[in-house]
Amino acid sequence: MGMMKKTKTIDWLIDSTRELAEHSEFASLETRVILCHVLDKSREWLATHPDYELNDLQLQSANQLLERIKNGEPLPYLVGKQSFYGLDFCVTPDVLIPRPETELLIEECITWLEEHPSKRKLVDVGTGSGVIALTLADRFEDLQVTAIDISEKALEVAKKNAALLKVETQIEFKQNDLLQNCPGRFDVIAANLPYIPTEKLKTLLVTRFEPLLALDGGADGLDLVKRLLQQSREHLNSSGMIILEIEEGQAESVLEVVETLLPGVEKSILYDLANHPRILKIIV
């Protein structure tokens, strides 16, 4: 009996990318990420070792991950991490996968914090994996951050990320329902809350694998946003900023909500790279 032909990394990548292309527009990136994860190597290493032969266990692991991706499972959950704003974050199915749109919120916060060097108290409401809280703490070492989530499991993920990024001394983690009974005031209230209308969720694939708690925004998608804006009156320092991510269809309705709950404040909607309304910014 002859030896079985070994599979080289380059051959696996070519075949798998072709196979995955029917399911994903990022097939060639995703197959490389799978292989780096299975081999515990960098993408640079992968590029320079096209003839490395996979052993049976590595091949089996890579093929299993490929099948799961074809079934729609998000790659970050399979490899346990996702990069965001140049940093790597651990993610599990208890938290939403960080999205590039949220980087716009980060950029706005950075600009504002640089312009207001005395304003150094920020709360991230619905922190999830901690991307907003921790990215900003990493950027400003004098920033004091309170990271709130209603989910204990999400906070565990965020704490792990804080330790990995070595910013845990700047963060206070709190399991809480938004800012309810939360003492203290903040210069910045930042949040990427669940904002998808309940009915719309039923049509979205994202609910197959990502936590519903982090997606469902109630009938009009604005339930939590309304509650947070109401609470913010008691929790925002004067000359502070509220900054929230919204769904693209909510620009008009969210501005009406602000006018009702916080009449007279300076408010604007910022657009993402795809030119969709994405961020609500309020200056008080």
* Environment class of 175 (CB within 10 Å of its CB; exposed 0-12, middle 13-18, buried 19+): exposed
Count of domains observed in the chain: 2
Residues 148, 186 contacting (CB under 8 angstroms)? no
State the pLDDT at residue 205. Answer: 87
Residues 40 and 98 in one domain: no
Distance between CA atoms of residues 257 and 244, nearest Å: 13
Instruction: Pick out the chain residues at pLDDT < 70.
Output: 1-4
The answer to the question of residue 77 being in a domain is no
Which residue from 119, 103, 185 is spatially nearest to 146, judged by alpha carbons?
A: 185
pLDDT at 60: 97
* pLDDT for the residue numbered 1: 45
Does residue 111 sit in the same domain as residue 160? yes
Of 34, 54, 72, the residue at which a domain comes to its end is: 72
Q: Looking at residue 4, what is its pLDDT? A: 63
Euclidean distance between CA atoms 225 and 192, whole angstroms: 9
Domain at 22, CATH number: 1.10.8.10
Give CA separation, 93 vs 77, 97, 159, 196, in Å. 6, 8, 16, 18
pTM assigned to the model: 0.92
pLDDT value for 3? 54
Domain residues for the domain of 56 are 7-72
CA 148 to chain centre: 15
Whole-number pLDDT of residue 2: 44
Asked whether residue 241 is domain-assigned, the answer is: yes
Question: Alpha-carbon distance 253 to 155, whole Å?
Answer: 31
pLDDT of residue 266: 97
Which pLDDT score, from 0 to 100, does residue 79 have? Answer: 96
Distance CA 272, CA 276 (A): 5
Residue 46: closest CA among 58, 37, 36, 38: 36
Query: In this structure, are 129 and 160 located in the same domain?
Result: yes
211 domain-assigned: yes
CB-based contacts of 60-64 (< 8 A; 24+ apart in sequence) = 62/12, 62/16, 62/34, 62/35, 62/38
